[in-house]
Structure formats: C-alpha cells, structure tokens
Amino acid sequence: MSEPPVRPRRSSARWGAVAVVLALGAGAFALYGIGGRDKAAACEARPETLAAIRAAAVGELAGVVTPSAPRPLPAVSFKDENGADVGLDRFRGKIVLLNLWATWCAPCRREMPALDALEQQKGGADFAVVPVSFDLGSADKPKAFLKEIGAQNLPLYADPSGKMLQTMKSVGRGSGLPTTLILDRSGCEIAYLPGPAEWASAEGMKLIDAALGR
C-alpha cells in the first residue's frame, strides 16, 4: 500500500507576511481601536484649516506633513519642572506645538532658540509651545541648557522614563529627534515634522497663523 501524499508545509515567508500585517494592525489599533472613531469625531480642526496649513508648508517648513483629517493621539504624560504629571489635556482649547527633544540631540539644540522666539511672539491664550525633553535622569541637563541659551519663554517639561516617547513611536511619531507635532484645540494632530526647522522664520509664523485660523 502506498503512503498518503505529504502535504506541503506553509512557507515561513507567508507566516512572516502575516506577522507584519498583524503588527501594523496592532499599531493602528493603538490609535484607532476601541473608541477610535469617537476620538476622531471629537477632533476640532476643520478641512479648511488643514488646507491652509498645507498651503503654508513652504520654505523652512516645506517638510511639514498634514494629514487628510485630524489624527487622534494616544494618551501621554510627562513631568513639569516641579515633577508633577502633565497630560496633553492640560492644553485643551489651545493650538499646541509639541516638540520632542533632548540635549544630546544637536539639531534639537540648534532649534530651541527659534522655539523660544516663537513662544514669545505667539504664546498666549490661543497657542503654546510645549517642548518635552527625553534626557535620562533628572531634569538638570535640559534646565541648564535652556538657561545657557537664554530661553525666557519656554516651559520645562521632561519625560526621563522615555514612556511617552515609546508611546509616540508606537503610532509612528518620534522615531528621531527632534520631532514636532501641531495639535488642534482638542489635542488631535494636524501637522507633523520629523526634523528641525526655523520656527521663528516668516514661514514658521505663517504656518502657525494658518493653524490658528488667522
């Protein structure tokens, strides 16, 4: 009697492709999972605001990426200069420029004076620059650096644990520093820039005005 034919094994390449799809799905679920549609519906920015930001992304800000719709972000927290926990919900009602940086990052160091100037000129009831340092250990290094460059307008926020950065990386943000996100008044992403920019330039001011609806 002949033996039954041996069924071919599924290739490891096929299972590798399945694993990639599942990983991508997990990342999307982290952002748009349970309640994700509700979060997207709660985003404040209108299509015309996104179009205005897109049109303003020229010159120094040519690398800014604008989503087709406001993008909800996962909940994150960091520390203020007194060590108290801060979430992005503290800034609801404002357009926020969220900057992820560290003192060991040379482009971050070069960018920080422009962010200080931007906060001086635009900061207030409608807009805030929110820089979060990812230096390990205490906040002494970023605090000393801001003092060294004469920054008088930027607040000191830090996440020495790196948890916020890992959360941001899970949704495709913060793979390199600096990374800047512009958030609408409900905390949804409306623009994204991987890398540094001269935010206090004429182009930078115009882009922020577009985000503010001016």
**Per-residue DSSP letter, 35:** T
pLDDT of residue 174: 95
- Average pLDDT along the chain: 86
For 93, residues 6+ apart whose C-beta sits below 8 A from its C-beta are 185
* CB-neighbour burial class of residue 48 (10 A; exposed 0-12, middle 13-18, buried 19+): exposed
What predicted TM-score, i.e. pTM, was given to this entire model? 0.82
Q: Do 69 and 169 reside in the same domain of the chain?
A: yes
Q: Do 110 and 139 reside in the same domain of the chain?
A: yes
Q: Do 65 and 160 reside in the same domain of the chain?
A: yes
Q: Do 58 and 146 reside in the same domain of the chain?
A: yes
Domain containing 20 equals 10-41
Assigned domain for 5 exists: no
pLDDT of residue 37: 53
Assigned domain for 137 exists: yes
pLDDT of residue 116: 98
pLDDT of residue 11: 40
What number is the average pLDDT over the span 156-177?
96
Give how many domains the chain has, as a whole number: 2
Q: Do 153 and 109 reside in the same domain of the chain?
A: yes
What number is the average pLDDT over the span 115-140?
97
User: What is the per-residue burial (b if ≥16 Cβ within 10 Å, else e) of 174-213?
Assistant: beebbbbbbbbbbbbbbbbbbebbbbbbebbbbbbbbbee
Q: Do 14 and 75 reside in the same domain of the chain?
A: no
User: What is the residue type of 150?
Assistant: G
Q: Do 34 and 103 reside in the same domain of the chain?
A: no
3-state secondary structure of 163: helix
Task: Return the structure tokens found at 34.
Answer: 């349970």
Handedness of CA 196, 199, 204, 210 (dihedral sign): positive
Assigned domain for 173 exists: yes
Task: Evaluate if residue 3 carries a pLDDT over 90.
Answer: no
pLDDT of residue 42: 87
Give me the percent of the chain exceeding a pLDDT of 90. Answer: 79
Task: Evaluate if residue 9 carries a pLDDT over 50.
Answer: no
Assigned domain for 1 exists: no
The C-alpha atoms of residue 24 and residue 38 are separated, in whole angstroms, by 21
pLDDT tens for each residue of 42-84: 898 999 999 999 999 999 899 999 999 999 999 999 999 999 9
**Per-residue DSSP letter, 151:** -
pLDDT tens for each residue of 30-39: 444 434 455 6
pLDDT of residue 34: 37
Cβ(97)–Cβ(129) under 8 Å? yes
pLDDT tens for each residue of 134-143: 999 999 999 9
